[in-house]
Amino acid sequence: MKKDEPPLDFPDTLEGFEYAFNEKGQLRHTKTGEPFVFNYREDLHRWNQKRYEALGEIITKYVYELLEKDCNLKKISIPVDATESEPKSFIFMSEDALTNPQKLMVLIHGSGVVRAGQWARRLIINEDLDSGTQIPFIKRAMEEGYGVIVLNPNENYIEVEKPTIHVQSSSDSSDEPAEKRERKDKVPKETKKRRDFYEKYRNPQREKETMQLYIRENGSPEEHAVYVWDHFIAQSAAENVFFVAHSYGGLAFVELMIQREADVKSKVTAVALTDSVHNVWHQEAGKTIREWMRENCCNWVSSSEPLDTSVESMLPDCPRVSAGTDRHELTSWKSFPSIFKFFTEASEAKTSSLKPALTRRSHRIKHEEL
């Protein structure tokens, strides 16, 4: 027998969900102490998914608060010349991000639902804040004297409710040819799928229809990276700029290199990629970019090998080493100590005109120019 689907109304605070982060940064139920339960209601997958997404939105805001209150970062609105009425996004920066004369660290997460300050929502909800957020990187960077800029590459548009359009149907359609009426009666596949879903419930909940208003010059992760480079990173005083880019963030960095090759080469000292999905062939990165990446980048990839073990690569770009985990979303957290060591060595090597140890070691991997 069909049943009513429960309303898709969820709390907008962690307290409302009866969850809180404990002293270890783990999300726990405030009454039972249990971790988050996805299947809160049996046989209601869509409702459970919507509940999870609602919690995810709260987590995003919670991490934003931590960036400002716990890490003392400033929230900077973009585009920098935005009008009052146009869609806007934002990034986060330390007080000294543009004035630190020595070092600047730039953090870029991957694609999907994650926003500034996060590596993986799943890790934040199911494991802890340390593994799922960029906060350990930010705090250690600041302790070691880096300025910090946190990008927000997935915040590409705002969603607004679609205006209701009333279409007056023609009362006199009987004169239409039968063939034309038959074509009109054919239901598009997507509409049929939606109808089939609603038929599972006696009274299904209907969602509001929304439309996307894209943010000027920040309509994609690649656009966003170039925009933040032009308006912030390129203007910074730092002699040494370092990037940490996870997954699709690595692709966005390579695109930035393609767009701003000379500038990036003159300002960036080293790049740590974590399970990056970039592809120098598909992205048509030139030979000079590939050579620079071999010398100045390292990609910590998901692998069952011990941390920092060299991993063979089919592509002639940067050296690949094991992140010490075969879980994609954990690669940034597991390679955390090695990344800071890599940056220190790269900085020292720049000063003494030597190559970083990691890069020297990984040169044993033979890259074939195809």
- Spatial distance between the Cα atoms of 142 and 105, rounded to a whole number of angstroms: 9
Residues 237 and 100: beta-carbon distance below 8 Å: yes
Q: Which helix or strand (DSSP H or E) is residue 132 part of?
A: helix 129-132
Which of 74, 343, 347, 80 shows the shortest CA–CA distance to 235? 80
Helix/strand/coil (H, E, C) string of 290-349? HHHHHHHEEEEECCCCCCCCEECCCCCCCCEEECCCCCHHHHHHHCHHHHHHHHHHHHHH
- Known catalytic residues? 247
**Up-side HSE of residue 33: CA atoms within 13 Å toward CB?**
2
Residues 67 and 117: beta-carbon distance below 8 Å: yes
Cis peptide before 79 (omega within 30 of 0): yes
Show the tokens assigned to 59: 């987590």
- Spatial distance between the Cα atoms of 31 and 300, rounded to a whole number of angstroms: 39
3-state secondary structure at position 109? coil
